[in-house]
Amino acid sequence: MKPAGDAGAPPRMTIDADGVATITLQRARHLNRLHAEDLAALQSHFDALRGSADARALVLTGEGRAFCAGYHLGELGDPARRDADDAGPQAFERTVDALESLPLPSVARLNGSVYGGATDLALACDFRVGVTGMELRMPAARLGLHYYPGGLRRFVERLGPGAAKRLFLLGEAVDDQTLRQIGYLDELVGADELDTAVARIVRALAAGAPLALRGMKASIDELAGGRADPQVLRQRVAACAASDDLREGLAAFAERRTARFSGR
């Protein structure tokens, strides 16, 4: 346990025996705001997961009463840091883009409210499970910020321009029920049900063939953003059709047993 006055530490990552990685934001005293060193740690974790053949899914969560308060505004207001390569909006954008582009599926375990850039960090995950009573607020316009392009793209692609305008232009706090209605949250549960809901999604992901899951995740994102190359999509289809995983999946179905996928 951290001392009461501890400012926290960079995000930590653990991977269990089933290949489920969990990244936890650790600055609960400051609502898990993200500093430059936190962005570097997240990028390092994402790089490790990208190169891992054993990781099957990622859960991203935070300690304390909020998921994340976004980027540390004190660093954003420092001219020496604002334009630095390892800090500021550009570094934040690269970090969230790296999360979105991970080949393995991801789940945001929203243990509390999300603010500022954290709204995009969660949106970059494939699924979001929130707790009742949480809220979202995107104050960019009220701070005089034009949000970075990658984040705006994600909001428009995943929620539509109407919802994106509501969140970015009005800058008002949005309650949990509204977040569920506009599609920001896939599930909304009580705090005591959060782990069960996340585990259910992770189990469903773990039951799928890695090659098919990763291929379809990439294809869906590319189709949603108008970036899909038909030839690449066909190549993914062909790769799965010729895979050991498909043979194992068909055999397991015929034998009425659980498939043991290898990701090949």
CATH code for position 27: 3.90.226.10
> Which value, to the nearest 10 degrees, does the dihedral of the CA atoms of residues 42, 197, 218, 112 take?
-40
Q: Are residues 140 and 53 in the same domain?
A: yes
Question: Is 261 part of any domain?
Answer: no
Query: Residue 76 has what pLDDT?
Result: 65
Higher-confidence residue of 184 and 264: namely 184
Give me the pLDDT at residue 6, please: 65
Residue 3 lies in a domain: no
Residue 93 included in any domain: yes
Q: Is residue 4 included in any domain, yes or no?
A: no
Instruction: Out of 182, 205, 228, pick the residue that ends a domain.
Output: 205
pLDDT over 70 percentage in the chain = 93
Query: Both 218 and 96 in a single domain?
Result: no
Is 69 in the same domain as 167? yes
Any domain includes 35: yes
Largest CA distance in the chain: 64
- The pLDDT value given to residue 4: 44
Across 174-190, average pLDDT: 98
Domain that holds residue 231: 209-255
Q: What is the mean pLDDT of residues 98-123?
A: 97
What is the reported pLDDT for 81? Answer: 55
**Least confident stretch, 13-22, 74-83, 92-101, 210-219:** 74-83
Examine the domain organization and report whether 60 and 87 are in the same domain.
yes
Whether residue 103 is contained in a domain is answered as yes
Whether 260 is covered by a domain: the verdict is: no
Is the pLDDT reported for residue 2 higher than 60? no
Note the pLDDT of residue 3: 46
26-46 mean pLDDT: 96
Q: Indicate the average pLDDT of the chain.
A: 92
> What's the pLDDT band for 162 if we cut at 50, 70, 90?
very high
Report, as an integer, the average pLDDT of 114-125.
97
Do residues 36 and 142 share a domain? yes
44 pLDDT band, cuts 50/70/90, is: very high
182 shares its domain with 249:
no
In this prediction, residues 20-38 reach a mean pLDDT of 96
pLDDT band at 53 (very low <50, low <70, confident <90, very high): confident
187 lies in the same domain as 234: no
Mean pLDDT of 18-41: 96
Q: Are residues 48 and 146 in the same domain?
A: yes
- The C-alpha atoms of residue 143 and residue 2 are separated, in whole angstroms, by 32
Q: Is the dihedral of CA 171, 191, 188, 57 positive or negative?
A: positive
pLDDT of residue 229: 96
Q: What is the DSSP letter of 54?
A: S
Overall number of domains in the chain: 2
Q: What is the pLDDT of residues 74-98, one digit of tens each?
A: 766 556 555 556 667 789 999 999 9
pLDDT confidence of 263, banded at 50, 70, 90?
Answer: confident
Beta bridge partners of 188: 130
Q: What is the pLDDT of residue 77?
A: 56
Q: Are residues 130 and 31 in the same domain?
A: yes
Among candidate residues 205, 225, 241, the one where a domain is terminated? 205
Residue 116 has pLDDT above 50, yes or no: yes
Q: Are residues 98 and 157 in the same domain?
A: yes
Domain boundary among 205, 222, 240: 205
Q: Is residue 1 part of a domain?
A: no
Asked if 154 and 234 sit in the same domain, the reply is: no
Binning pLDDT at 50, 70 and 90, where does residue 5 land? Answer: very low
Distances from the Cα of 173 to the Cαs of 2, 119, 134, 157, in angstroms? 30, 12, 10, 21
Are 108 and 37 part of one and the same domain? yes
Query: Could you give the C-alpha distances from 30 to 24, 27, 71, 97, 204, in angstroms and in order?
Result: 14, 6, 11, 24, 34
Q: How many CB atoms are closer than 10 A to CB 51?
A: 8
